[in-house]
Every structure is written in C-alpha cells, then in structure tokens.
Chains A and B, each alone.
Chain A
Amino acid sequence: MLHLITLLFLITTTGFCSETPDAILRDMLWEQLIVLPSDRRPKVGLVLSGGGARGFAHVGAIEVLERGGFPIDVVAGTSIGAIVGSVYANGASVEKMREMVKKARFDQGTNLNSFGLLRLFLVESLLSTKKMESYIRSHIGDKQFHELKKPFACVAMDLKTGERILFKEGRVAPAVRASMNLPGLFKPVEYRHRYLVDGGVVDYIPVDAAKSLGAQYVIASVTEGDYTQAPITNVLLSLQQVIDIRGALLSNASRRKANFIVEPSVGDIDFYQFERSEESVERGVLATQETFERAKESYILSSMPSLITAWKNGK
C-alpha cells in the first residue's frame, strides 16, 4: 500500500500541472511560426563545431531539434561537424546517424596503424586521410554540394597561406575530408592548388559559413574540450591541444555572432575517444533538451516581424 502511495505521489507531482502563461503563448506562437514557408520567416542555420569524438554530441542536438520541429534550413560544420553536417544535410535520419556513431572509430578513413606511425616517426612521412573520402561517400554518395537536401558548407584552412577556405560547391567528400584533416599528423589535402588542413584551426564554430548560405538566425552546437585539463602525453594530443586552444580563442567571436548556443557538457571527452561517441550523443540530447524551450523563445522573438506580417496577411 505504501509503495502505491509513493508511486502515485511520484506521478502526481511530475508533469500535467497547470500551464504557465509564458508556456501557453510560446507554444501557440511556435505553432504559427513553424508552418510559415521558409522564405517568410528568418532562415535558420545550424552550425556544428569541431571537436573529434566530442562532436558526435551534434547528433544528439539534431535529434532534439528535429523532434521538436525546429526548422533547420541550412547547415555548416567544421571538422567532425562537417562530417555530421554533411550526412544530416544529405537527409539522413537521426536513427541512421546514431548507427554511424556506433560504428565510428578514430582510425576510420586514415592509414593510422602501427606501420603508418612507424613511417611517420622514422621517415617523417605524414599519414593519409585518403580513405576518408570513401568513408564520406559510403554515407552520402559521390555528391556535389548542390545535390544535398539542405544547403551545406564546411571550412578548412590552407596550410600555405593560413586562409580560411569555405566550401559550398563542388564535390562534398574531398571538402569534408579537408575540413577534418588534422595538421601535423595527416598530409594536407591537395585540392584546387591548395594544401588543406582541419578547419578548426581558423573557424571552430563556422557561423559565417552558415550566414554565407543565407542563414538569418544561427543556432550553434559547440563541443569544445576543456584544454586546461587535457593530458599532453604524445604528439597527437599536443597537436589537438594547439587546435583546441586556437579554436577556443577564435570561438569567442563566433559565439557572439550566433543567436543561440547549445553547449553539451563534453569537455572531459578527448577528441580521439571514439569509444565514448555514444556518450557524446546522449550529452548532446541532454544539453539541447535542457535549453530547447529557450531556443524556441529566442527564435520566436527574432521572428516577430515575420509573424506580424503573417497576421497581416490573415494567416
């Protein structure tokens, strides 16, 4: 009997309370906003940061946004964000992306093995990410940017000039490969006379890339590491530490340009810990769920002119 009391106590004290005036209005305005055609409301850009295994949290963020009906019109990503972003822009379901995460390994798409490492240290021959292109193609096919279901852009850096290179046309697979090509360990990707490496060095949270695709409202999923706690015990970790520090410094400016930031708590996951990828996804879900109503409110407030225009037109 006492168990039943506890059970009922638990049930009646959670959920189904009376709704707050704010929540009632938010839900109604949201309902009105998301049925507007994409050209009659601010275009939403989803921006996915770099971060290695941490970046799989983007899949969790996408899961909550999709489930809640948050309109995503364009996508931009750097490094791991470029991989997740390209697959999502190609129309993959959340279930399919979760499957991809389950199978993900750090050495996937590279020749990172004992022989490769031996060559790297003995004859300073950098490793190759050539197989990454086939990995990308296995998920999206050999597509051009304009063939993706949602407009998509990704970012890399030209190692010779330090320029930020924005990809939004041409073939997707080499662009994504270039965007996640860790410098110092992997050979730069030679593409259109450029020597391309990981975009995280110059644009960790590519808000401008989304804006270049026409985004008027940007929601960014940021998966920075806590570089103050990172162990720097080998070459790989030192290189990543440099990217993380540089990324963190650059990200301040990008953060200011985004309208809303979702920041999953993944700082303790190292970029190479792909065995923790599913943990990352879950943390992405948790962080996005926690802030989802605020994100909706933020987008509604940015869309008031559109809503007023719709009311004017009797919608």
Chain B
Amino acid sequence: MSTAEPDLRAEGLHLGYDDRAVVSGLDLAVPPGRITAIVGANACGKSTLLRALARLLAPRDGAVSLDGRALHSIPTRELAQQLGILPQSPVAPEGLTVIDLVNRGRSPHQTWWRQWTKADEQAVHDALAATGTTDLADRAVDELSGGQRQRAWIAMAVAQGTPVLLLDEPTTYLDLAHQIDVLDLVVDLNRREGRTIVMVLHDLNQACRYADHVIAMKKGDIVAEGAPADVITAETVEDVFGLRCQVTTDPVSRTPLVIPVGRHHAPEPDSDSEEQESRPRKQ
C-alpha cells in the first residue's frame, strides 16, 4: 500500500441515469487517511455519488480525480490497485468458499504468468486475520450468517490492498450486534493500516460515532460537511431528512446522538399540528 496520502476529489460533478439527473454540480474532497460517512434520505444520490467515486458510473459532466489524475484516464487495473469498492449486498456464487472469495481480491495484482505470488498469499492471510475470518476460510460464503458474510466480503476488499476503500451501506440487513462488529472493523482498518475510507451509512448515530467526517446530502447536493459534532444538529437533520429531532450526546462515544421526535410520543405541543410533514422514522 502506498504511504502517500491519497487525494480523491470531485469537481463540478453531474450524475444521472437515462433522463433523470441525480447530482448536479457537486464538489467534494475526501479527507485522506480518515473515515468519511455520507448520509442522507433515501434517493438523495449518496450511493450514486459513491459509484461515481469508484468509476462504476461515468459522470455526465465534471470529473472525479485521484491524485490529480482524472479517474477515467487511469487504466482499469491500476485504478483497482489504488481504490477498492464494496457495493451494497454483493452476491457470491453458490458454494464459493471464503478463501476463494478473498483470493479474488488479488486479481488487480495478477497477470497471466504471475497468478499467485508470495505477496498475494500474505495479503490474503492478513486480510483474513484482520477481519476475523481465518476460521471461516474453508466455509462456503452462502452458508454463513449475514455478519460473517459481510466480513468475508470486506476481507476481499482488504486483500485488494488499496489505500482508498469505498463501502456502500456495509451494515445493510445486519442485526445491531453485527452492524457494530462491521463498523469496529472499519475503524480497525483505518487506524491500523491508515486506509482512507468512504462509506454510505443509513444510521446517523453510527455515522457520528464511527466517522471523522460526515457529508450530509439532500437531493443530490451536499448540505453540510465536516466533523460530526458540527454537521449533525437538529436543524441539519430536519433539513436533510424532514425529521424533527433533538440532538444530545452519545454517553459512550461523546459524539452527537439523534433522538427523533415523531408525532405520537412527545409530551407537547405538536400532536395537533397538521402541517407537520415528517414521517416517523426509525433511526
């Protein structure tokens, strides 16, 4: 892994599918060596942005650049040595073992004649150890529990050995214990190995606790970004999610903790106010 700080940024980015524009004129600089969380309501363009950062989606206008080079000008394999992406809920073929999955993470480092070097073997060994999947190596991925499966996929991305790692909702479909398990693992990867991580998260409180930098998106635009304590305020949450809430302090991590108000459980006064648009939301 290169020790230089990766510089991933987007300038004047326009993204969309067919005739639907999702992101229009977005600028972004990913803080190197930190964990960045992108939050926002459903369909606000956060996954679309992440896909563009990973070159899975070509911009209509503007560009994403890595270390000063436009992403689309970097050869595919070279980019895959610098930047890894784990899409949301990937599916492994039936019967594929964890070790076979993690081995595939080394593909960008392999050639016809150099298919499996000592370095590949070491990287896979380390990735299994870092994600706690060493004991699962010979199990089939589709037989694992949700949390184990997600750790196996992360192990694949870790074995890829990229300085930048993008994760699209790595905690989806996991129960709370496994969500925390995966997020702790993400912090390990960042602190131990200095990887730059960008992830899309649904849970605001988890974003506040696990990210150094939070980007709040609404309708394809960045509404606010910065340290969690600066970004996640009652006003921003109401603006971004259309949800009234109170923000206190997480007693464990001392980061912002969002408590939604909703329509039914607050003692006063807004049970009679009909203009309230916000739906109750589980956060």
Is this pair of chains taken from one and the same complex? no
